[in-house]
Structure 1
């Protein structure tokens, strides 16, 4: 749907401008700059996951006693307890009520910032949901993935050659012997594209002549100015915190103009 995509392009420009303004509005205080940028992403996500969803930030606990690092933007499913304290913040966030975790990093050109986001992602992926949320699913590797919280990194830029960023990600995971299941899911680079980690070939969603071996692993999808559409599409197809009894309709609005234009 062209009109929907046009709106998302405007949203992308607004986010970009808010990131740039944050350096001025929060001048002198790095935490304020960071907060402004987080709010820009949170506000966008909130528009597409409205009440009774909740958008929050912080560390996540699972029922096995584990806790993640603090994450900038969390999509809390309507089933999440209303643990709002007197300051309007969630005093407790639990893994079985989190649909997705999104870390905001203005630039991934810096290896240090990239690795910090990867470390935060591992802390999220180590958590486990207690309850099965997939109906009529018998593939054990998919069931295992559904017990974890999807982890995204949202950024304005990466290295000029995106392959350099992908190689740094792969090198970090190899050096730290990080299992595939504990690696991030998607990196969003605004107005450029998405780095997607297809962990298993049967989860690859596009029509292509790729072999199964080529469908599993790291791929860069050039969504360009439609990168926010790609972001929403991947959020929509992630394993959420509760079982869906109906098919999601959002993909039909996002992909009607894009399906054949995504390099695969």
Structure 2
């Protein structure tokens, strides 16, 4: 596990470098900058989800006529048809053959940029798989398994990361979105992972010490955030049943000390809203409180 973590830390540094170089490589054209950054994340995912998985970009559609917005990274399961053009671009992405999708955003400290990513996720969550990896259709998690998993990968967030977590909660609260139709995770390289556990069976933490067992949790992975990223990608509702267990999850199990950097976001969000509603509390005081909340066990 230590060797894998060391390798992922190097990958995190490489991704940071690739994102900076993209500003030079695509200088003058924002679309080219974005494409260089997307390519860097796609290349990373391709190493950890090798053939017969394939990494694509585009719009995923289902058999019920729903089409999602174009997503930067689409992890196609081994059973996905090889529907590519002469230039190896996927021309058709089908929900039943997609393991998960990831939208790439350089900086979600910008609330508008965060909202754009989450709005794209809503189009993904409208898709429905007609088949799932579950044996029984009446399984209690069947509705969850019918959704295509969606996540966000970013390089930067608010100086107090938990504030970005609160903005995620605010977005879904304002739009009245049910937990099952919200993003599955939001990753910030070298900082944290925000995870949405729609059922307590999905929560990998010892949730007995937290007010909530489901909902959004802040995980302070810091320099090991890519390990958290890969772990989340292996814990989503996969497109189909697997003949063998995945190799990586046992090596990605977080170290014991990470448990002291897990925050029940919904509970802390309630405290935050109370603080914000007090007229005598200034912005600096709220920022200090946010940093303290993140550092609590």
Measured after TM superposition, the shift of residue 163 of structure 1 is: 2.2
Q: Which residue of 1 aligns with 2:170?
A: 171
Q: Which residue of 1 aligns with 2:62?
A: 62
Normalised by the length of structure 2, the TM-score is 0.84
Deviations 1:207-247 (A, max 9, x none): 24335x51211111011111100011111111111112333
Equivalence for 1:121: 121
Deviation, 1:93, is: 0.6
1:23-172 correspondence to structure 2 within 5 Å: 23-135=23-135, 139-140=139-140, 142-172=141-171
Alpha-carbon separation, structure 2, partners of 1:54 and 1:251? 19
Distance 2:32 2:68 in 1: 23
How far has the Cα of 1:180 moved from its partner? 1.4
- Provide the residue aligned with 1:248 in structure 2: 246
Query: Equivalents in 2 of 1:96, 1:246: separation in Å?
Result: 19
Question: What residue in structure 1 maps to residue 258 of structure 2?
Answer: 261
CA distance in 1, matches of 2:179, 2:35: 31
Deviation at 1:249, TM superposition (A): 2.7
The gaps in structure 1 that reach 5 residues or longer are none
Counterpart CA distance in 1 for 2:42 and 2:145 is 23
Structure 2 vs 1, CA of residues 137 and 205 (structure 1 numbering), >3 Å: closer, same or farther?
Answer: farther
Change over 3 Å in CA distance of 1:259–1:250 after alignment to 2: farther
d(CA) in 2 for partners of 1:114, 1:206: 26
Matches of 2:227 and 2:3 in 1, distance apart? 12
Whole-angstrom CA distance in 1 between matches of 2:64 and 2:153: 28
TM-score normalised over the length of structure 1: 0.94
User: Does the aligned pair in 1 maintain the 2:125–2:147 contact within 8 Å?
Assistant: yes
CA contact (8 A) 2:165 2:194 kept: yes
SS in 2 for 1:105: strand
CA distance in 2, matches of 1:95, 1:195: 24
Once the two structures are superposed, residues 236-262 of structure 1 have per-residue CA deviations (whole angstroms, 9 ceiling, x without a partner) of: 11111111233323121112x624433
Q: What secondary structure sits across from 1:109 in the alignment?
A: coil
**Deviation by residue 1:103-135 (Cα, 9 ceiling, x = unmatched):** 000000111111100110000001000013123
Deviation at 1:16, TM superposition (A): 0.3
2: CA distance between counterparts of 1:76 and 1:176? 29
Q: Which has the larger radius of gyration?
A: 2
SS in 1 for 2:60: coil
User: Residue in 1 aligned with 2:230?
Assistant: 232
Equivalent position of 2:196 in the other structure: 197
Q: Distance in 1 between matches of 2:132 and 2:30?
A: 40
Q: Name the structure, 1 or 2, with higher relative contact order (CA <8 Å, separation 6+).
A: 1
Quote how far apart the aligned CAs of 1:139 are.
Answer: 4.0
CA distance in 2, matches of 1:214, 1:259: 20
